[in-house]
Amino acid sequence: MSQQSPDRSTSPPPRRPDASMSLLTNVMDHSLDDGYAEATARRQADGTAGMPRSLRAKLGLAAGLVLAALVVTVGAAQARIEAPVIAKEREELIDRVETETSAADELERNVEKLRADVGERQRKALQQHGGDQGGLVALLSGATAVQGRGVKLVVDDAKDADEGGGGPRESTSFSDTGRLRDRDMQRIVNGLWSSGAEAVAINGQRLTSLSAIRAAGDAILVDNRPLVPPYTVLAVGDGQRLSAAFQDSADGRYLHVLQESYGIRTNISAQEQVRLPAAPSLIVRTAEPLVAGAGRAPANTGKGTS
């Protein structure tokens, strides 16, 4: 029996040698990603596909510089236009400030003159209507300047005083910042009064029985007027006796503790001659009519200022 050969036309095609490496084949056949292909097509449509990257960067930088120069030029031109207007407004503001400052200074001078005039009239009234006690009343009320023997007490903050110290201390009377406080000054003044001082002044400000020593931050105020260290306290009295009595008093020992423990600087000395000014302003607390002679109207007189 004869054997027929198979039909080669109907047999499947032979298998490719790289059929088992389909992944590598796909990578080789499609080496350019679709996204890159689209980007290349767009560049070709724009006409920049053949342009080197460095040239494109230079063109972009040049365009940025041109834009910046344009902005600067426009700004400079606008500033040049507005400069005269700004300068004129500045001059007007300066003139207004100077004018108002001069007016305020003039008002302050007028206030000082009026205050001095009122104080002088009050002092004259005390001396004129005080009778036999007029001089004593004027002295005790601070209505007249006084001079005579006394003591000079200079008190200053410690050399290494803390610049960042807060306001008046609350829980202690001692200074942990090296600064003298209003309470310290109150004790010093009260100690001088109790030791026999007849009149007291701090940095040229006369104290009366109505004077208030307070604090505003680190500043010490006397009748709402700030004091600047060092503080010079002048007291009229028997110099040697007053100095010794004050240093032996509780307030003098308190000041000594501030000096030894906190660096507060003090110096007290007896003086043959000290001069204290009159109090800047007096307040009349009580007044009563004084019956005058026939044909004269009754006059008002201040009976005391303390």
Domain residue ranges of the chain, discontinuous segments joined by +: 148-276
- Please report the pLDDT score of residue 296 as a whole number: 38
User: Could you give the strand order of the β-sheet that contains 213-216, starting from the edge strand earlier in sequence?
Assistant: 213-216, 219-222, 225-227
- Of the ranges 173-177, 227-231, 282-286, which one carries the lowest mean pLDDT score? 173-177
Q: Is the pLDDT of residue 175 over 50?
A: no
pLDDT averaged over the chain? Answer: 76
- Please report the pLDDT score of residue 187 as a whole number: 94
| pTM exceeds 0.85 | no
Long-range contacts of 180-184 (CB under 8 A, 24+ apart): 180/155, 180/156, 180/220, 180/229, 180/231, 180/258, 180/264, 181/215, 181/220, 182/213, 182/214, 182/215, 182/220, 182/221, 184/155, 184/254, 184/255, 184/258, 184/264
Q: Is the pLDDT of residue 90 over 80?
A: yes
Q: Is the pLDDT of residue 23 over 80?
A: no
Q: What share of the chain is helix, strand, coil (3-state, %, to 5)?
A: 50, 20, 35
To the nearest whole percent, how much of the chain has pLDDT over 90? 27
Distance CA 184, CA 13 (A): 117
Q: What is the DSSP letter of 171?
A: S
- Please report the pLDDT score of residue 33 as a whole number: 64
CATH top class, domain 148-276: alpha beta
Pair of tokens at residue 119: 């104080």
> Each residue of 249-281: pLDDT tens digit?
999 999 999 999 888 999 999 999 999 988 876
- Please report the pLDDT score of residue 134 as a whole number: 63
- Please report the pLDDT score of residue 278 as a whole number: 83
Confidence tier at 151 by pLDDT (50, 70, 90) = very high
Per DSSP, the three-state class of 211 is coil
- Please report the pLDDT score of residue 1 as a whole number: 47
